[in-house]
Amino acid sequence: MLRCLSYRRGEITVIRWGTIGCGSVCEVKSAPALAKATGSSLAAVMARTAATAESYAARHNVPRWTTDPAEIIHADDVDAVYIATPVSTHLDYALEVAAAGKPCYVEKPIARCVEEASTLHNAFAEAGLPLFVAYYRRALPRFVELKTHLQNGTIGELQNVRHTLTRTPFPGGDLPWRLEAEHAGGGFFMDLGSHTLDLLDWLVGPLTLTNSTVERRDTQHYLVDDFVDLTFTAGEVTGRGVWDFTADHRSDELEFRGTNGVITMSCFGDDAMKIRHQNDDPREGDVCSNPPHIQLPLIQSMVDELNGLDTRCPSTGHSALRTAEFMDATLAPYYGARPAGFWATPDSWPGLK
């Protein structure tokens, strides 16, 4: 039985959110959308330092702030909790949310490894509570349009999917937490690769890994992976993805090849979709700009579901667990089996031997 979810503004039930963490992802992408979604409000925010929490609350008109996550999780005026902190904190915070009997929205990836992800999924399933995960591309209009094209046979029967993402090397200096296995579960592939693989799971999946090559090409600055080349199948569809975080240029391309044409677009931009049929010139669609608060479409689907409307959020703990399973299988050649705690024993990682 969901706790609270009873505050009403006029005739509209309003889900009152509290956030744990209010860093860069909360500035534009997510937390403002919690306040702006229909039937939703942002009641309280938490940060590790009072200055950060107080500043965020003042700038975003949030009624209350705190430095204590428990004050968010157990507050009577908070119906649902958004966890926007590094991946290493997701498990403990979310388990406390489940114990408090509240729905939870967790940033992606859901956890550092499958073992943690499975623990989270099971805790919310056993409590009968919704667990949502911030794979928000599942609800973005540009990808909803793409899925319609794939389902309607715009390029015939889909045969092959390819994705290439390159980024220039880490310049040195203090390591961001996303390059520390203890906090991220791996390197930038965990952060960016998970977005694309979860999107493909939704578009054409579930995915089955057939092979992966995982390397650390920068041997000076960090211990985590920075190059991944994988192949997969999804039913009769074959696919390949390459992520290189040590390249001399930036690129981002998704390609969907069917029996009667090809669709290309980026995964992380908002460029126009290009559709080319056999023997025809390419046709470029309209630029489908992402909303100013890019998580708003997914957040609206969560709020509508929590408010009992005929809507289901497309990104759940169950779907995120599939992505975590695929990520662990992909990264196994470098890290090994990846049980919880693998990050503490880098001398056991096959990729460093």
pLDDT: which is higher, 256 or 10: 256
* Residue 3 belongs to some domain of the structure: no
Measure the CA–CA gap between 110 and 124, rounded to whole angstroms.
13
131 lies in the same domain as 145: no
Last residue in a domain, options 270, 290, 310: 290
80 lies in the same domain as 199: no
19 lies in the same domain as 99: yes
128 lies in the same domain as 40: yes
Per-residue pLDDT averaged across 231-259, rounded? Answer: 98
Per-residue pLDDT averaged across 94-105, rounded? Answer: 98
* Residue 2 belongs to some domain of the structure: no
pLDDT at 6 (0 to 100): 45
* Residue 88 belongs to some domain of the structure: yes
pLDDT at 136 over 50: yes
User: What is the tally of structural domains in the chain?
Assistant: 2
pLDDT at 8 over 50: no
Per-residue pLDDT averaged across 217-235, rounded? Answer: 98
Per-residue pLDDT averaged across 329-348, rounded? Answer: 98
Q: Mean pLDDT for the chain?
A: 94
What are the tokens at 295?
Answer: 């998580």
Q: Please say whether the beta carbons of 246 and 217 come within 8 A.
A: yes
* Residue 228 belongs to some domain of the structure: yes
* Residue 51 belongs to some domain of the structure: yes
127 lies in the same domain as 20: yes
Confidence of residue 9 (pLDDT cuts 50, 70, 90): very low
| CATH code for the domain of 177 | 3.30.360.10
Q: What is the domain range of residue 75?
A: 8-137+298-321
